[in-house]
Structure formats: structure tokens, C-alpha cells
Structure 1
């Protein structure tokens, strides 16, 4: 190759690289940029009617209302007196609307909205951008949320609370004209994304008081603000139910449009899942709950309703449920509720992905860098597949060694394909060559590759996790495409160590593979490309040593 051709190829490569960078800047997948808006009460307008206020609430469970999924209430215009209560802990910042006592905004200060943005990630919010809130209350015969006044108006002693000790309790109190006092209490603990909620009902009336506890998550159909993965593989966005019959059941928004989900089960939970983050209602164990989904006013609602409970005159009774809102961290989810860790969905290869995720976290606990952890896990996987790869590489090395003999047989028999195939098979048998051996490493690697893809995509720990130099987020693509280019280069080196296919067309296709894979990997998460790059480097070293060994055997 002359100097002019080398210069032209180098110039073409540089221009192609710059074009890809510019294309990605103009058209590449970017995180959704959503302007931050202040969350507001859903009942701030004086024109809101009770029917509108209660339209998102679950049915009390009677047959007459089974089709509407709404509590019966008559319209009566009222002026809202609600206010928003702010609560801050070390891991949560939220707003509670005293009208209904719902959580209408929840941010996670330990998780940034974007890599170069100091603003915390907003999980729940209620504004012009998105509706995603946690609602709970009491329905049924005497439930506050089923009465003509609509959602109850609670009062608090303060407008803002901050966790400073071991626990923080925020009490919202409603005193009825009948002497019944309902306290809706939120309890927070340091470092916990689980919020304990209690309804304390003190019956000061002369009659039995009956109600059912409900908890639900309401979300519109807006896109997932935490979704950054491209290449068509998206994390699940929708409702998830766990019951005694089915521990993990996904109900997409499309499914909710087609029909309502309804199941009765002891214990369990209901969640709304998205990429990296989760909100979930976890009712108290030991009772049978009704779980359901529905679509109301363009919002998707998933929730539970408890059995009816009675409060005798002069008695106080407490009903409880926990609400989790935070990252999809398997350790935290396991502590929050049984089977909640299943929301970290690794797909059909979960049996491979789960051990890989555990191993990745274990390695990280020692090395402290997720990129280095990926390198170590690549080495471990390579060691486990060493014998499979060694057999394949030996077959390829022998094919490379006996390449001249294969070429001679092809020239000798010409167009007599039957005799040529027979002679080639005799050569393969004599020299113990497996012509398909070169496929074994790729076949063995693909399930691990796909499983690791889902591990890297579902692991919130890798979100915004830096590696080194320009790689400051392993969960998204390399911004300068250097890792995919290096990966393509190592594939090309691997081809130089492998035998050239006898078929000219196949040989041309094989030469194109490094280029095809390079472009294919451009928009893959940097952590996944790092895995494949390190794997290629280790394969090159193993193939080189085996080639030398086979060639040495021939010279003896």
C-alpha cells in the first residue's frame, strides 16, 4: 500500500469520525429535557366540584358501582382551603397536599436529574408537565373520601418539617361534625425511601364507624424522564402487581386501556415502575386486599383497597400501609417488601443476569469503581469459558495452519465438490479440526452479553457512574465513540489471527464485520462496550498463544 493511499484512508476515517460526532449531536438520542415546574394542588380552583374531586377514587366495592369505579357523591361547589406541607429527610423531599393528604411531589436529593445538573431527580409531581402522585384515604360507608364534601381537608401544626432525629412524624388531622377524629400520619426514618402511613380513627360518635383503606398511584401517559437507553430496548413503564397467585405481574398502559386489572389476594403490593425508579404501595401483612387498575380522565391508576374495618364508639383503631418511593436498588427493595426486588427486571435471561448483578456489586464493594468492576467481571467470565474458547481457538489455529493444504485440495479437485468435500472431511478428522469451532465463543458469549446488557440498563448504581478519562457515565453511550472504535479495532486484529475463509464472498463479509459491529455499538451503553472491548483483548491474547503453540507443534 503506497503512502498516498494511507493518507487518503486516514483522512476518510477522520472525516467519518467527525460526521458521526456531529450526527449524534444533532440527531442522537438525548435525555428528555423537561423544564422544572412547581407542583400544585389538584383542588386549588374554587370551581372544582366534589364529583371532580372524587373521580379518581376507587369504588367501595359494591356491585352497583362496579362499572364506574367511582364512589357515589353529589356535586357541591366548595372553596378549597388546602395548603402544601413540605417534608425533608436525608433522602426524600416531598410536598403533601392537606386537601386529601396526598403526596403530590417527591424528589430524590441523592439522585441528580441529569449528569451535569445539580437539581435532584423528581419522581412524583403534579403540574403542567406531568401528573404522577400517591393518593390514599378512607372510603366505604363512613370513609372521609366517600362523603359529599369530597376529599377531606386536613390541618397540621406546621407548614414544613425536617427530619433531625431517629424518626419524624407528620400528622394531618381531620375532626368531623360527628365527633370522629381521623389522623393521617406519615412517619419518616433516616436513609429510608419507605414512608410508613397510619390512619388513626378515634370514634367520638354514638354509632359504629366503618370504612376501608385505599392506596393508589396515579400517573399520566407522559414519557419516562429517567429513560436514556437507545437501540430500541426500553425499560418497562407501567403498573406492576404482586399477589399470592403471581408474584410479579406487569400491566402496561396499553393493557390498562383494554381492560381493568382486578384481583383479590392476601398481602402483596402494587407499584408504578419506570427506568431506575419505583413507587409502590405495600399494605400491612395479614389481610386480604383488592388490587385493581383503571383509566380515568386520561390518568392511569393502580391501587389497593383493604377489607372493611369497624371502630366502636369511644374506640381508636389504626390501619397502616407503607409507601416506597425511590431507586430500584435490589437491597432496598428486598427490605421494603417480599418480591419487590423483582421490579428490577432482567428479562428472560434473569437466571444469568441475577448472578452477574450480584457479582458486579460484590466486586465494586472492593474496588470502588464500576468500570473496573466490569473489567474484573469480564476476566471472570472469560476464565469460566476458558476451555470452551480454547477448543474453538485450537480448531481455528489448525485451520490456519492447514490453510495451504486446504487450498491445494480445492485446486486439485476443482469443480468436483463431492470429492473436495470428502477430502476436506478426512483432513478435519485426521487433524481433529472442528470447522464450526470459531462460532463457539460467540455463541457462548451472546447469552452473557444480553444478560449483562439488562444488568447495566437496570442497575441504578451505574446511573451517572464514572469510569475514567472521558467516560463519566457508564449507563449511556461513549460521547466520543472511542470505546466502540477500539472495540472494532480489536475485532479486526482477531480476524488477522483467524484463518481466512475459503469462500471469497464469506471472506469479504468477515472483513466487513468489524465495521458493522463498530457502528452497531456506537450507541450502546459505555459499560457494555467496555465489557466487549476487554473480552476481545483477552481473546486476542488467548488466540495468539494458542496459534504459537499449534505452529510450534508443526515445527517439531
Structure 2
């Protein structure tokens, strides 16, 4: 029993150390590193701007692709949008415009998502023009050859052939004819969500073959303002090849060295944030090379791009190529829908983690409840009940084993008294007692071990999925993906002052700590003073550590503890074992007699 207790203490201490390391050391270090990187990038940009007199021309190339970056991003978003002719985008999900210079997607907002929980706050801006500080855009074009003439690139002036506004029901057609008479016709359509389809027709009316290569890229000037955490991938992402593999790289890794992926056919690539993504799906029958890079030639920028194998168009012939661009929110049902419609493994744009086979089914169960009750907080509670029911047989064995161990405590004491310091004899006698009473001393460990991936998977669901973003519960919890906004140290908002972040210990973390305290008091107080002190202070430590976790996870933990206490009480009573909770509470709060003089 003592070895078993030490085992749980070791697990608890390990968890405390990992959480403390993350929140007290790694997060401040990552924040400091992010600020240092931003300062370094700003300095580098200033140096490059001083050396560069022009923004570069369409013939300048970077890795065989036309240079897309300006010398320096100096314009405001409004100024940049006013510089060029544009075609408006207006769908139920997105708004913005297409830049006719380069036929570039560089103005895109997401109608369904706001910057804060306040619906009057601005909607999310995803794409912005290249010459703004927050520049983020996607572009499709061609790299020509000696016989192709000028090909569409970042400075190409397209004309509108048909359509004055891109909607879910009305596509837009653009046209460009180069100096060799080659006609490029681009038809852009969009669904009701976030998928843009670009169909290009290249007509060669001349007397000589034309050879060119398609390219596509997603480029952004800056990393996300909120530093990434270890639990989720943000940065470069792609499934390279229809039957290839997932390629994911952080911004920091690509800053050190560009990543060149193997030649592939099919798949997709782009840049992903926690909730949003911008990806290009090249023509699925075309072989291409792809890479993830970071440029400092002018405006520093991050870029995921591909270049297809050369295509030759014979005189009098027409070639068609189809690209798709996803730019929007990573909504789980929608992402799965695009996968089912032919984008291979597109569901991996959402970082489900190592326990994918647990995490995604858990989300699906939670989403099922949400669609019936309309509240993700209640859905978390119901999901917890289902998980408890699934683990009930194991938990029953765990608590039955604990009950039997308690029932055998008097006999264990007799064996200790009988064998004294003879450890070998005591161990043999103990094992014989276990066999006689049909007790498995490690049976109680398995439910704990098996529930670790369940807990981590739920954390991933709450922290990662956009469905949890700004999802309210009840009362003051208006965002289950954010920490509890209240604090004990201003009496939960009753006192008129703000509390430092490290003192933000809200109502739900305190409730979780209380339930954890009650759960631990269900068992006898350890005889060792050090262990007893550890068990007494552990709920308080976890209350502080989990105060900065998403409130949805804290609510889950509090509810799970409550169910565990109830379940343990019922099972122990069924096996005739004493429930120690009330005696432990009486002992804890019993006033010690004053010392006699």
C-alpha cells in the first residue's frame, strides 16, 4: 500500500513540475524570445530598406519565383487597398476583395468571427495587402520560359472579363494577354464558406509551342502576435502528395533553414494558426516541388510555395489548370467535408495531436451534445458522464481494490507485527494474503493511467477547436477556451481594481480545488507526515496551476472529481469499506486542545 501511495505521489509531483516548468519558466521565456525576435526583425527591415531603393520588378526572382515582397511595408491597410483596382468578395462567410494587380487574394475578413466575445467588436481580418505591416496573402501565377513571353505574376494587371462581384453564386472571370499573344483566362469561384476555386485556361494562338510552370504561394509578413504553446502547432503545414506525409515546421525552424519538400503529386500546403489557416491545393494531377521559407530581402516574410513541372502548350491548343485556396476558420465539420470532396487528408490541418484516435471522437461526441443542448459547457459535462460510464468497469475494479485493501488493513498490521524487520518474509506473506483474498494491488493504477490520454485529449479539444472559441457556459464564463476571468484577490470583481495575471484565481479553479480536496480526503490520511502534508497542499497547488488553463478544462476537472467522489462512495459502501471523508474532515477541522501549564 505504501509503494502504491508513493507511486501516486510521484505521478502528482511529476505533473506539478511539468505544469510549473511550462507556466513559470517556458511561457515567460517564449514571450521574451518573441519580443526579441520582433525587435530583430524590425531592425533587419530598417537595414534592408536603407539598402534597397526600389521594390523590385516582376523579373526579379527568389528561388525561381517572382519576388512578391515590397522593400518595406509602410502603408496602412486602407491606403494599400486604395492603391489598386479590385473586385469585391461578398459571401455569407467572408468579405473583402481581389487585387487585380497579380489577381492576388490579399483582402479577406471572416464574417462569423469577432476579435473578442463582444459581438460588436471588429470581425477577424485574415488577409491584408503585402505593403502593410500585417501583410498576409495568397497568389497564383506562372514562371515562363524563353518562348512563353511575359507570364502572370505579382505585378500583372488583369482585366475583368465578366462579373463585377464574387459571390457564392456568381463567379468572376479575369483575363490577361501577354506580348506573345498567349491568352490567360482565370475564373474565380467561391463556395458559401472558405474555399476559393481558381480555374485557369491558357490558350496559345501562335505558331510555336509555349512552355511555362504554375506556381502558388501563401505569404505573411509577421508571425501571430500571440506566442504559440507546445500543445498546438502553428506555422508551416502541408500534406505533400496525395499519399505522402504531413510536413509541419515552426516559424523558428524555418527562420534558421528553409525546408524543401520532396517532389510530389497531389496534397496541399500553407500556413496555419491556432484557429485559422491559409492553404493552397495545387492541381492534383500535376507533379510539383514545394518549400517553406523565410525571406529578408526587403520586407521580412514567411512563405509556403510550390512550383509545378513545366507544361508545354502546342500551337492552337488550350491547357486548363485548377488550383484551390482555403482561407478561413478551421471548423471541424467543414474541414472534414473538404477532405471528403477530394482534398487528401485535409482534416490534418487541425492539430488533433498524438491521441488523434481519441481526441477527434471526443470532439464529435461533444459536438453531438452541443447540437442538442446548445451549450458547449453543458456538452462538456455530458461528455464527462459518458467517459465515466465507459470507464465504470475499470473504476469499479479500482475502488473495489481500494476497498479490499482497506478491509485487509488489520491483517496487514498483523503481518507487520509478526515478521518485524524481515522484509522478504513480509513480502511473501503479503502476496499470499493478496492471493488468498483475490486482491490485485495494482488494479487501482490502470484507470489512472488510461485516463491520462483522455484528459490530454480533452485539453486538446478545448484548446484547439474553433468551436470552443468564445463559446459561453453560464454566468461569467463567456469563453470556454479562455481562463476564468474572475479572481479571488479582488473578491471576484467586487473590488474596483485589476489583478495581476499570476493572481487570477477564479471561481471555477477554486471549485476544482475543493472537489480535488474532497476526493483526496476519501482515503485515509497517510501516516507519514511528509506525505500527509503533500496530500494536504496538493489541491491548493493544482488550483493555482490550473487557474490559467481554459475554463472548460477546469469545469471538466471539477465535474469529473465530483462524479469520482460519488462513484467511489457508492462502490466502497457496497464492499463494506469505511468512507474516510467525514472522519478526515472532522480530524482536519477539530480544534487542538490548548497545552496545559
Q: Same fold (TM over 0.5)?
A: yes
Q: Does 1:140 align with 2:144?
A: yes
Q: Does 1:478 align with 2:477?
A: no
Which residue of the partner structure matches residue 210 of structure 2?
209
Which residue of the partner structure matches residue 370 of structure 1?
376
Moved more, 403-412 or 101-110: 403-412
Which residue of the partner structure matches residue 444 of structure 1?
450
CA gap of 1:471–1:171, structure 2 versus 1, over 3 A, is same
Q: Does 1:277 align with 2:302?
A: no
Q: Is the 8 A contact 1:215 1:303 kept in 2?
A: yes
CA gap of 1:88–1:57, structure 2 versus 1, over 3 A, is farther
Shift of 1:48: 7.6
Alpha-carbon distance between aligned partners in 2 of 1:434 and 1:233, rounded to the nearest angstrom: 36
Shift of 1:143: 5.8
Alpha-carbon distance between aligned partners in 1 of 2:304 and 2:562, rounded to the nearest angstrom: 48
Which residue of the partner structure matches residue 14 of structure 1?
none
Structure 1 unaligned residues grouped into runs of 5+: 1-23, 33-46, 61-68, 72-79
Alpha-carbon distance between aligned partners in 2 of 1:233 and 1:133, rounded to the nearest angstrom: 27
Q: Is the 8 A contact 2:399 2:571 kept in 1?
A: yes
Shift of 1:389: 0.8
Alpha-carbon distance between aligned partners in 1 of 2:139 and 2:60, rounded to the nearest angstrom: 13
Which runs of structure 2 are paired with 1:28-107 in the superposition (5 Å)?
49=54, 51-53=56-58, 55=60, 59=64, 82-107=84-109
Q: Is the 8 A contact 1:54 1:151 kept in 2?
A: no
Q: Is the 8 A contact 2:149 2:180 kept in 1?
A: no
CA gap of 1:55–1:270, structure 2 versus 1, over 3 A, is farther
CA gap of 1:201–1:244, structure 2 versus 1, over 3 A, is closer
Alpha-carbon distance between aligned partners in 1 of 2:455 and 2:418, rounded to the nearest angstrom: 43
Question: So what's the TM-score if we normalise by structure 1?
Answer: 0.79
Alpha-carbon distance between aligned partners in 1 of 2:142 and 2:422, rounded to the nearest angstrom: 85
Alpha-carbon distance between aligned partners in 2 of 1:150 and 1:128, rounded to the nearest angstrom: 16
Which runs of structure 2 are paired with 1:188-267 in the superposition (5 Å)?
188-189=190-191, 191-224=192-225, 233-244=231-242, 246-256=244-254, 257-267=256-266
Q: Is the 8 A contact 2:102 2:156 kept in 1?
A: yes
Alpha-carbon distance between aligned partners in 2 of 1:317 and 1:413, rounded to the nearest angstrom: 90
Which runs of structure 2 are paired with 1:296-311 in the superposition (5 Å)?
296-297=295-296, 298-311=300-313
Q: Give the counterpart of 2:545 among 503, 520, 523.
A: 520
Q: Is the 8 A contact 1:334 1:341 kept in 2?
A: yes
Instruction: Please report the RMSD computed on the Cα atoms of aligned residues, expressed in angstroms.
Output: 3.5
Cα distance per residue 1:141-167 (max 9 Å; x no partner): 2667658x972112337996252xx52
Alpha-carbon distance between aligned partners in 2 of 1:48 and 1:101, rounded to the nearest angstrom: 25
Alpha-carbon distance between aligned partners in 1 of 2:61 and 2:564, rounded to the nearest angstrom: 58
Alpha-carbon distance between aligned partners in 1 of 2:566 and 2:148, rounded to the nearest angstrom: 71
Q: Give the counterpart of 2:569 among 527, 536, 544.
A: 544
Alpha-carbon distance between aligned partners in 1 of 2:207 and 2:459, rounded to the nearest angstrom: 62
Cα distance per residue 1:315-363 (max 9 Å; x no partner): 4443221111112223322333121111212221112212212222223
Alpha-carbon distance between aligned partners in 1 of 2:287 and 2:267, rounded to the nearest angstrom: 9
Alpha-carbon distance between aligned partners in 1 of 2:53 and 2:196, rounded to the nearest angstrom: 29
Which residue of the partner structure matches residue 155 of structure 2?
151
Which residue of the partner structure matches residue 38 of structure 2?
none
CA gap of 1:416–1:501, structure 2 versus 1, over 3 A, is farther
Alpha-carbon distance between aligned partners in 2 of 1:143 and 1:252, rounded to the nearest angstrom: 37
CA gap of 1:536–1:264, structure 2 versus 1, over 3 A, is same
Which runs of structure 2 are paired with 1:381-460 in the superposition (5 Å)?
381-403=387-409, 406=412, 424-460=430-466
Which runs of structure 2 are paired with 1:285-300 in the superposition (5 Å)?
285-297=284-296, 298-300=300-302
Shift of 1:544: 0.7
Question: So what's the TM-score if we normalise by structure 2?
Answer: 0.74
Alpha-carbon distance between aligned partners in 2 of 1:96 and 1:144, rounded to the nearest angstrom: 25
Aligned length in residues: 493
